[in-house]
């Protein structure tokens, strides 16, 4: 009972906030709605017993990706009139794509109703639940069965990093605010200060 | 507690619901009270280090100072700047405060006193604490004013930077404990050090991790020397500049609740949580919560101590420390610790 | 799962990755001083990987059939054939690359490293027997391609090309993922064998949608019409060596991936996707031929030429027979040699001050100044047009033969007709190079490395190439047979 209620609550909120992401005029509002959508998606994950995925969804998407999104969007100066003009121009195309996707969804639901949508293995028999916690089972699958793909995904991230650095990093000589910590620490009063006893009425020569 | 309500003749569902609400109140109310007292302690510690007296007028030894401040703030008018984005402006302090409270749901005050003893407790805390940046960013943006906006930018970059190394440090602890459950992490520390000391922090591989964790906690809660988001010499009061009355108080309460959470995490993850410091039977007669609060209080003292003695970092220094020092070191320790645990047959 | 066997079968990917990681460290510490050395080692590694793949060609058809990591990956004759093409093409491009960038002091040691990771991704693409391996390989290759396209970051056109490629490529990845999710939803498996089994049991409309989406996304990656719009812009804007790369190795990888997908998991439902492939093939041939006519920029022209050639390769796929696959593979091999030759010749066309020449006006009267280069270009262009004495004709002949054998006579006829239109713009080369008055000064010498690459490509394209028909026929037949073995 409470699960059903929670499911419909989370699902309705995901959809509503997803709609608001595109409906909101202000891009910052869009991002905030997106965060709400992530949140409710995490709620759905908890409901199906995938609490590890739910936590990761929050940590990665809400905690890092969306913050950076917000970071960029906040600094944008967007011309809304122009944005809406583009919207009108592309409206028919958007509608067409939306119709196709809607048809897809209906097919999906239809198949689900017919009882064909059984996830897991090819024969349609769902994968047996492992006798271990969520985290442990994901770890086992990730590092045993899919270790090849896991490592390859790591290389993809490396490529992304190398790419970002190659395209944006410019080596500047003598950058402002450069600081050599060890030199700073090595300095002692003897080499940094001088004691002078100036005579009255005369300045100090350094 | 559910059993207690069931014994009053309620069905399981109602009993569970009531028990949860009671549990939330049992955590939230003392927490608010201790936040008030901790603000007083904070001010007293700074005063002592600065050779001043600190608050000493309201109540005996000034003990009621925080309550007087709270009353004052409560009676003030809430001002919303006309150029502000109203909805988000009001939402921001609420988010900060709610998030600061939500993390406490999984904190084990003793072996049994925990509201939600979930498997992924540590991940939950990490997830929730990564949300606290939204309060700052939203308030900074919604204020529609220069200084709060700078502050929001700084907060977003700063918190993401330090969360990365906090994540790696926590992975080290999790590697030793083999679980994300906070209670199990505490139990795993029983007799960890030479069979007598109940703490991860004394292990030569984990002690440096704890030092880094403590410093990252300072950055994560935006305390001195990393309080660039509210650097008063540059940004007036940072993201709080445009706030007044209760909305300002919510920020204040949320901030200290977060600080307390970080202190309690230090105790739980590295220094034995609700276990007594030494694995010696008579010490177990003292209730676990006493040990936990003593440890937490000690770490809070350290927070105040740092605040009173260390000057503020420059922003590029902050970023340098996070990305060029903490990140490589913590990543290296993850590798070293996993190797060490494999070599010593820790995983069996 | 036996790790030793798995490592053996994936040795090219693992070896190239490790080599890339080590070279990345070298690049990080030594900076751009080491760019030359890193390039040389990368070329050596790519050749090593190619030789290892040749070694796997026969070995992998044994009792384990090249399966690695629990059938996520299969090192069979098909994969080996495609990988040899990919690695050799990547190595050839790397050989002719440094001069181009060094002239404007823009060469960096990360370039060959990105190429190596790109090759790893492409290897995974052609060997993938699981949708997840496919996607990861695709992303690894695409991501490094985006960076390579905008490698001249101070050049507006290069940045624009990178951005366009990135945005549209990400869209294509999204389409593929959407299709993959549908296929997984309707079959309950991401494994090719599992999908095939599930499709044989029942093939619903929803699953058809999934197949169509996957194929559409893949069509994007091979720049088949109607998903070709990005190609001319990206090819024109990207630095010329990168364009040479885009037109060769990733085409082989994407085409190999498409062939394997169509023949293995979707092989039982050939009727469902054949019409799409026929349409894409014909549209590509026609659009490629017509679009090229008005072009003044040679890189843009070669972009349309590659669209056109992809159409011919897809005719082989449309046949959906082992003969068709073998034909497509033969065409791919010849196409790679032609493309790399053409772009190398383009790289050798320089003004005396070192700037690149890339329009028709620049090559007018080339035969009087650089006769050898002009004749090489002539051979390559005739070969691209499929004019008989040259080897390019053989590729077209093989795919048309396969189409006719599969009773697709109309398709073959239209294809032949369109290739006549296509011949027009290749002939324009001859007119401009041999009969027009020279207008521009052209640099008189070219580096030996360029001559070597160009020489090999031209030798393959010359009638001498027909010596290769017998071994090429055997290899491609064996490669195509690996699908039958997997079924």
The ipTM assigned to this model is 0.88
Q: Let me know: does B187 contact B273? Beta carbons within 8 Å.
A: no
Query: Shortest CB distance from C140 goes to which of A145, A147, A156?
Result: A156
With CA atoms as reference, report the closest residue to C386 among C414, C413, C426. Answer: C426
Using an 8 Å CB-CB cutoff, list chain A residues near C133: 148-149, 152
Residues in chain A: 206
Q: Give the mean pLDDT of C46-57.
A: 86
According to the model, what pLDDT value does residue A119 have?
44
Query: Shortest CB distance from B137 goes to which of A52, A70, A135?
Result: A70
Q: Let me know: does C143 contact A163? Beta carbons within 8 Å.
A: yes
**pLDDT > 70 in chain B, percent:** 99
Q: C 18-77 residues with CB below 8 A of A?
A: 20-21, 24, 68-70, 72-73
Q: Give the mean pLDDT of C34-39.
A: 88
Query: Cβ of C4: how many Cβ atoms within 10 Å?
Result: 7
According to the model, what pLDDT value does residue C108 have?
86
Distance from CA of B227 to the nearest CA of A (A): 19
Query: Shortest CB distance from C124 goes to which of A121, A152, A158?
Result: A152
Q: For residue C24, what is the nearest residue in chain A, using CA coordinates?
A: A162
**pLDDT > 90 in chain C, percent:** 17
Q: Let me know: does C79 contact C66? Beta carbons within 8 Å.
A: yes
Q: Let me know: does C413 contact C400? Beta carbons within 8 Å.
A: no
Instruction: Tell me the per-residue pLDDT of C223-245, one tens digit each, with 9 for 90 and over.
Output: 888 888 889 889 988 888 999 99
With CA atoms as reference, report the closest residue to B138 among A33, C379, C152. Answer: A33
According to the model, what pLDDT value does residue B164 have?
86
Distance from CA of B331 to the nearest CA of A (A): 15
Domain ranges of chain B: 75-347
A114 band by pLDDT with thresholds 50, 70 and 90: low
Q: Give the mean pLDDT of C315-344.
A: 89
Instruction: Tell me the per-residue pLDDT of C354-405, one tens digit each, with 9 for 90 and over.
Output: 777 888 878 887 888 888 888 888 888 888 888 777 888 888 888 888 888 8
Instruction: Tell me the per-residue pLDDT of C93-124, one tens digit each, with 9 for 90 and over.
Output: 999 888 888 888 888 888 999 999 999 999 99
With CA atoms as reference, report the closest residue to A124 among C133, C203, C185. Answer: C185
Angle formed at CA B322 by CA B320 and CA B323, multiple of 5 degrees: 70
Helical spans, DSSP H, in C128-203: 131-149, 156-187, 192-201
According to the model, what pLDDT value does residue C113 have?
92
Per-residue CA distances from B283 to B204, B268, B276 (Å):
25, 18, 6
According to the model, what pLDDT value does residue A155 have?
92
Cα distance between residue C194 and residue C192, in whole Å: 5
Query: Shortest CB distance from A167 goes to which of C132, C147, C197?
Result: C147
List the single best residue of C195, C206, C209, C226 to mutate versus A (max A Cβ within 10 A). C206
Cα distance between residue B103 and residue B137, in whole Å: 19
Instruction: Tell me the per-residue pLDDT of C159-197, one tens digit each, with 9 for 90 and over.
Output: 888 888 999 899 889 999 988 988 888 888 888 888 888
Two tokens at B56? 């000493």
Mean pLDDT of chain C: 85
Its CATH class, for the domain covering A1-78, is: mainly alpha
C15 band by pLDDT with thresholds 50, 70 and 90: very high
**A-B contacts (CB, under 8 Å):** 75
Q: Give the mean pLDDT of C64-84.
A: 81
Instruction: Tell me the per-residue pLDDT of A16-66, one tens digit each, with 9 for 90 and over.
Output: 888 888 887 778 888 888 888 888 888 888 887 778 888 888 888 888 888
**Beta-ladder partners of B197:** B193, B278
Q: For residue A123, what is the nearest residue in chain C, using CA coordinates?
A: C198
C473 band by pLDDT with thresholds 50, 70 and 90: confident
List the single best residue of B131, B157, B159, B338 to mutate versus A (max A Cβ within 10 A). B131
Q: Write down the residue that tokens 């624009």 correspond to.
A: C160
List the single best residue of B16, B94, B119 to mutate versus A (max A Cβ within 10 A). B119
Buried b (16+ CB within 10 A) or exposed e, B71-93: eebeeeeeebbeebbeebbbbbb
Mean pLDDT of chain B: 85
Query: Cβ of C102: how many Cβ atoms within 10 Å?
Result: 14
Taking CB atoms and an 8 Å limit, are A156 and C197 in contact across chains?
Answer: no
Among A106-110, B149-153, C55-59, C87-91, whose mean pLDDT is lowest? A106-110
Buried b (16+ CB within 10 A) or exposed e, C437-459: eeebebbeebeeebbebbebbbe
On the question of a cis peptide bond just before residue B256, with omega within 30 degrees of 0, the verdict is: no
C and B touch with 3+ CB pairs <8 Å, answer no
Q: For residue C195, what is the nearest residue in chain A, using CA coordinates?
A: A122
Instruction: Tell me the per-residue pLDDT of B177-228, one tens digit each, with 9 for 90 and over.
Output: 888 888 888 888 887 877 788 888 888 888 999 999 999 999 888 888 888 8
Distance from CA of C193 to the nearest CA of A (A): 9
According to the model, what pLDDT value does residue A106 have?
67
Q: Residue B234, class by beta-carbon neighbours within 10 Å (0-12 exposed, 13-18 middle, 19+ buried)?
A: middle
Taking CB atoms and an 8 Å limit, are A166 and C110 in contact across chains?
Answer: yes
- Measured between CB atoms, does A157 come within 8 Å of chain C? no
pLDDT at B29 over 60: yes
Q: Quick one: chain B helix, strand, coil %, rounded to 5?
A: 70, 0, 30
Using an 8 Å CB-CB cutoff, list chain A residues near B85: 26, 28
**pLDDT > 70 in chain A, percent:** 70
């Amino acid at each position: 009972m409470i699960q059903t209620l929670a499911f419909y609550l989370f699902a309705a909120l995901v959809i509503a906030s997803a709609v608001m992401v595109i409906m909101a005029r202000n891009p910052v509002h869009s991002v905030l709605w997106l965060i709400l959508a992530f949140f409710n998606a995490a709620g759905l994950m908890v409901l199906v017993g995938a609490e590890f995925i739910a936590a990761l969804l929050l940590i990665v998407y809400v905690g890092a990706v969306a913050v950076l999104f917000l970071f960029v969007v906040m600094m944008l100066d967007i011309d809304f009139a122009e944005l809406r003009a583009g919207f009108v121009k592309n409206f028919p195309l958007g509608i067409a794509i939306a119709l196709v996707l809607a048809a897809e969804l209906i097919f999906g639901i239809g198949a689900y109703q017919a009882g064909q949508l059984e996830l897991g293995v090819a024969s349609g028999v769902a994968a047996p639940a492992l006798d271990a916690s969520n985290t442990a089972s994901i770890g086992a699958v990730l590092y045993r069965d899919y270790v090849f793909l896991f490592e390859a995904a790591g290389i993809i991230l490396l490529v992304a990093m190398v790419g970002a650095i190659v395209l944006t990093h410019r080596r500047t000589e003598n950058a402002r605010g450069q600081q050599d910590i060890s030199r700073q620490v090595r300095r002692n009063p003897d080499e940094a200060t001088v004691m002078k006893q100036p005579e009255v009425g005369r300045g100090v020569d350094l | 507690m559910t059993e207690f309500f069931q014994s009053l003749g309620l069905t399981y569902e109602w009993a569970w619901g009531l028990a949860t609400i009671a549990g939330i109140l049992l955590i939230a109310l003392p927490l608010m009270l201790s936040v008030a007292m901790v603000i007083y302690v904070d001010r007293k510690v700074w005063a002592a280090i600065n050779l001043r007296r600190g608050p000493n007028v309201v109540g005996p030894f000034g003990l009621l100072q925080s309550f007087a401040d709270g009353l004052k703030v409560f009676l003030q008018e809430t001002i919303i700047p006309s150029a502000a984005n109203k909805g988000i402006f009001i939402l921001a302090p609420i988010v900060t405060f709610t998030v600061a409270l939500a993390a406490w749901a999984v904190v084990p005050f003793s072996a049994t006193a925990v509201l939600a003893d979930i498997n992924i407790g540590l991940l939950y805390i990490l997830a929730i604490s990564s949300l606290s940046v939204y309060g700052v960013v939203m308030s900074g943006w919604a204020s529609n004013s220069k200084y709060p906006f700078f502050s929001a930018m700084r907060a977003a970059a700063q918190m993401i930077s330090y969360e990365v190394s906090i994540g790696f440090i926590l992975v080290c602890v999790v590697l030793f404990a083999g679980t994300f459950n906070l209670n199990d992490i505490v139990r795993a520390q029983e007799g960890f050090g030479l069979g007598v000391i109940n703490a991860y922090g004394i292990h030569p591989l984990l002690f440096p991790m704890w030092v880094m964790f403590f410093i990252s906690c300072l950055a994560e809660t935006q305390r001195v020397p990393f309080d660039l988001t509210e650097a008063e010499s540059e940004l007036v009061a940072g993201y709080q500049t445009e706030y007044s009355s209760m909305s300002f108080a919510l920020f204040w309460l949320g901030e200290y609740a977060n600080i307390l959470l970080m202190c309690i995490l230090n105790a739980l993850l590295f220094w034995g949580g609700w276990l007594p410091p030494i694995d010696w039977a008579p010490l177990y007669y003292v209730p676990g919560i006493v040990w936990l609060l003593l440890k937490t209080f000690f770490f809070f003292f350290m927070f105040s101590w740092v605040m009173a003695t260390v000057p503020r970092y420059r922003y590029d220094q902050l970023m340098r420390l996070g990305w060029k020092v903490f990140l490589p070191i913590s990543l290296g320790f993850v590798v070293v610790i996993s190797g060490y645990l494999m070599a010593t047959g820790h995983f069996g | 799962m036996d790790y030793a066997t798995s490592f053996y079968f994936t040795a090219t990917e693992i070896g190239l990755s490790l080599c890339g990681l080590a070279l990345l460290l070298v690049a990080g510490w030594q900076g751009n001083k080491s760019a030359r050395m890193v390039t040389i080692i990368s070329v050596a590694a790519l050749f090593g990987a190619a030789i290892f793949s040749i070694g796997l060609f026969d070995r992998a058809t044994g009792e384990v059939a090249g399966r690695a990591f629990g059938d996520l990956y299969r090192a069979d004759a098909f994969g080996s054939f495609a990988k040899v093409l990919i690695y050799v093409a990547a190595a050839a491009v790397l050989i002719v690359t440094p001069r181009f960038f060094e002239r404007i002091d823009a060469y960096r040691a990360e370039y060959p490293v990105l190429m190596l990771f790109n090759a790893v991704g492409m290897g995974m693409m052609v060997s993938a027997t699981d949708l997840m391996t496919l996607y990861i390989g695709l992303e690894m290759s695409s991501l490094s391609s985006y960076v390579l396209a905008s490698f001249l970051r101070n050049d507006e056109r290069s940045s624009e090309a990178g951005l366009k490629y990135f945005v549209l490529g990400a869209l294509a990845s999204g389409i593929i993922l959407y299709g993959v999710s549908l296929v997984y939803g309707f079959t309950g498996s991401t494994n090719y064998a599992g999908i095939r089994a599930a499709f044989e049991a029942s093939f619903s409309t929803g699953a058809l949608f999934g197949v169509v989406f996957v194929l559409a996304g893949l069509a994007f990656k091979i720049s088949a019409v109607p998903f070709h719009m990005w190609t001319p812009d990206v090819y024109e804007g990207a630095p010329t060596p990168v364009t040479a790369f885009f037109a060769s190795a990733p085409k082989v990888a994407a085409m190999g991936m498409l062939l394997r997908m169509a023949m293995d998991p979707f092989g039982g439902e050939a009727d469902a996707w054949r019409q799409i492939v026929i349409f894409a093939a014909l549209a590509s041939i026609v659009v490629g031929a017509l679009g090229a006519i008005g072009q003044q920029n040679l890189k843009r022209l070669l972009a349309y030429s590659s669209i056109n050639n992809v159409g011919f390769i897809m005719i082989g796929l449309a046949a959906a027979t082992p003969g068709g696959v073998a034909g497509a593979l033969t065409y791919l091999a010849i196409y790679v040699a032609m493309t790399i030759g053409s772009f190398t010749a383009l790289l050798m066309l320089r003004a005396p001050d070192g700037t690149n020449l890339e329009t028709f006006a620049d090559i007018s009267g080339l035969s009087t100044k650089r006769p050898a280069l002009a004749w090489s270009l002539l051979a390559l262009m005739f070969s691209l047009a499929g004019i008989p004495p040259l080897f390019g004709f053989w590729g077209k002949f093989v795919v048309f033969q396969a189409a006719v054998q599969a009773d697709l006579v109309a398709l073959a006829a239209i294809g032949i007709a369109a290739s006549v239109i296509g011949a027009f713009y290749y002939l324009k080369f001859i007119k401009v190079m041999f009969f027009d008055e020279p207008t521009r000064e052209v640099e008189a010498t070219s580096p030996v490395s360029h001559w070597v690459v160009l020489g090999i490509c031209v030798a393959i394209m010359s009638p001498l190439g027909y010596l290769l028909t017998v071994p090429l026929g055997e290899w491609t037949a064996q490669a195509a047979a690996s699908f039958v073995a997997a079924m």
